[in-house]
Structure 1
Amino acid sequence: MILQEAAINRLVLWNVDLTLVDVSIVTRDAYAEAFRAVTGRPLVKLVPPLGRPDSEIIFETLAVNGIVAEDDHLPAFLKELAAAFADRRGRLSKEGRMMAGAKDALKAVSRVDGVVQTVLTGTIKSNAVLKLKAFGLDKYIDFELGGYGEEVYPKATLLQVAQSRARQRLGTPFTKANTVVIGDSTRDAQAAKIGGAGMIGVASGRSMASELREAGADIVLPDLSDAAEVVKAVVALTSPVDSPVDSRGI
């Protein structure tokens, strides 16, 4: 992605799974292959993502399948997961789906003055790129500025890592005043609240609108199908305001 010369002063961080795309069938198959490659045993149970990073899911999946994690398990699993997912890239668009309105929302937000879009996702970087590329969404994302699942940090810390990367690259300080997270899980909302960002909850995943609000989302949308409402929310949460934004008014 090539950034424009205009000053970038708004950072938009998208969650990937169940916010922009749903490729859960392919993801589970890749996990099963990676698990077998690392442990020599078949995968019996994969813990639900629930907005967690791949690094956390891997450790919990090993535990529930009776494997005691050792130092080399995580790097080995991440390597095998990337390879297994890449081998299945041709299935992503066939067996997965783009979430309603995702492409139009990304395109519309890309036109907002001063915006750069990246991802804050539990997915490892190589797989996040493949997921979005399969549906033609990658052209709106600057992947070098994001936070990813192979980085062993809580999601709130990953948010701050992404802000720091953006500041180093673009020369603009990114804080709660000009950073917004868009995601479908309560984990996304909690990360935004703790890490220092506005939060647009999208009730397209496993979290209900009421749960997203309770977790700290500033604005909650049913999905991304109304691109104008997504843009309105982004602008409201990345512009100076005299009073808090009322999510019921957007």
Structure 2
Amino acid sequence: MSQHFSLLGLTARPVTGRDRLSEEVDRVQALLAQAQPPADCSPEIPVAPGRGPMRVLRQYETVMTPSGLRTRRATTAGFHPAATVDAFDRMELQARRRDPEGPALFTVAQVEAGRVYAALAERVDAAGVKCSSIEGQTKAGDGSASWIDAVIHDIQRYRRMLRAIGDEVVLAPQRRRVEDPRRTIRVRQLVDAVCIEGKTLREVRRTDGWGNARTANAALTDGLSAALDRLYEL
């Protein structure tokens, strides 16, 4: 028999198994809705909740027609490609919510440099080898030479990127207090957190104990922007 109780004039009832089941169904439906590919993308893209939200990579081309220049979709079967939403997308969305008319947080070149760095780091990590361990292991005619050359090229480029990023301190407490949660943040740590781990600057601040301090946010934004500029110039 269900039991009711009154608290400050409000009547409540215990949560039942049916309530929990309904909440779980709603949660799953929300996950599936977020995992749907965007409307302008191919319907053959599978629904994958583990992949996360997606964004449209709109592809257009400008061609000459009898009536003059015309811009049209440059896609296969009329569908635009898609990509998963990353930290740059999330930060830009947060910035637009705060100020719809404000300037972009990062330039197109900076964002592209960060994404190229993330993709290269993933390839190097997936190769599972070090340059010193594969040099001189090519075998003529078996097709391995081109693969090893590509791996060596990626590793060497990755090392150049790491040197360009550097290891300078971006943010550090001026005075350490007792039980101070703030931790020093170096530029390599910052770049990896945003580009590879997918953290926004707000999440980086919270992870390292800086909360919502405006000075911390400005330092992280400037430090990341400068590192991305160096990457783009390589």
The reply to whether TM is greater than 0.5 is: no
State the TM-score, normalized to the length of structure 1: 0.26
Higher normalized contact order (CA 8 Å, seq sep 6+, divided by chain length): 1
Larger radius of gyration: 2
